[in-house]
Amino acid sequence: MNAAAPAHVFDASLPTFEQDVLLKSKEVPVLVDFWATWCGPCKTLGPVLEKLAAEFNGGFLLAKVDVDKEQQLAGYFQIKSVPTVMLVKDGQIVDGFPGALPEGQLREFLSHHGVAPREVVEEAAPVETAPLDPHEEVVRLRAAVHAEPEQEELKLDLALALLKTGGVAEAEQLLDALPANLAQDDRALRGRARLGFAALLKDAPPVPVLEAAIAADPADLRARHLLGAHAIVGGDAQAGLEQFLEMLSRDRNFQDGLPRKALIDAFRVVEDEDLVGAYRRKMASLIF
């Protein structure tokens, strides 16, 4: 790949293909370029694809797959010649072509599939603000809900704030009362996931007991699940994700796929996007 390639171009590999290509394609189309260093037409096609990726400014992503380095991945897609290009949208291959097309035909191919450039938006300089105290935020939102009881989004905000302060029962009532459109909001789903972890701990043993159980039997996945839930609810996201990842590595089918479900629920709860991204890649490397 060109060392000066734009930010929308990346090298794809087998361990991260699900996360970086299949899952990402649900947000933005991904063009996958299977190529090789010895391939003459690849040297013609590659720079044009990178140029378009830069010009489209995130309208699509360009995933480069060196078939010599990623033979297993090339075999999975039954690549018989290079270059071969595939377009992935919503987790599925929707079209593709072999060989090096000229720039005009490449533009027509993208346009045919509704792939368009994104406008460059100038971002304002971020304004630094002090983190809000969760308890103060609950007080503020209670007053806001009282003043505008018809504003359902304020009730969702209050439910999420209550979850951060331990107000599980009231938060659950607020989430249950949300209208259908807000009940499927990403923030509402995050609240539901957090409620799920809190419910797990209702009759769960305390942390020292669970740690002792795991020390005595590292394969005690039930104890690991509860210990991970303790960590997530207590704010130690990485420790919780580590427990769930360890469950997945030991037995992905435990209790009908509980390790994978626990990780996905935790991804909804954890707000650190970099941490979530890192553990999504680790999860993909274990299950793909």
Q: Residue 195 in contact with residue 168, Cβ under 8 Å?
A: yes
Residue range 93-100: mean pLDDT, rounded: 93
Q: What is the pLDDT of residue 122?
A: 56
47 token code pair: 């720079």
C-alpha span between 27 and 7 (Å, rounded): 16
pTM higher than the cut 0.85: no
Query: Hunting for tokens 């899952």 — which residue is that?
Result: 23
Catalytic residue among 9, 30, 36, 39: 39
The answer to whether 36 is a known catalytic residue is no
pLDDT digits (tens, 9 = 90+) for 98-113: 999 999 999 999 999 9
Question: Higher pLDDT residue, 127 or 216?
Answer: 216
pLDDT digits (tens, 9 = 90+) for 109-153: 999 999 999 876 555 555 555 556 778 988 999 999 999 999 999
29, 34, 62, 97, 279 from 26: Cα distances, Å: 7, 21, 14, 21, 19
Question: From start to end of 42-98, where are the E strands?
Answer: 61-66, 84-89, 92-98
Q: Residue 85 in contact with residue 29, Cβ under 8 Å?
A: no
C-alpha span between 282 and 272 (Å, rounded): 16
Q: What is the pLDDT of residue 97?
A: 94
Catalytic residue among 42, 101, 156, 223: 42
Asked whether residue 12 carries a pLDDT value surpassing 50, the answer given is yes
The answer to whether 42 is a known catalytic residue is yes
pLDDT digits (tens, 9 = 90+) for 253-288: 999 999 999 999 899 888 888 999 999 999 999 887
Chain mean pLDDT for the chain: 89
pLDDT digits (tens, 9 = 90+) for 239-250: 999 999 999 999
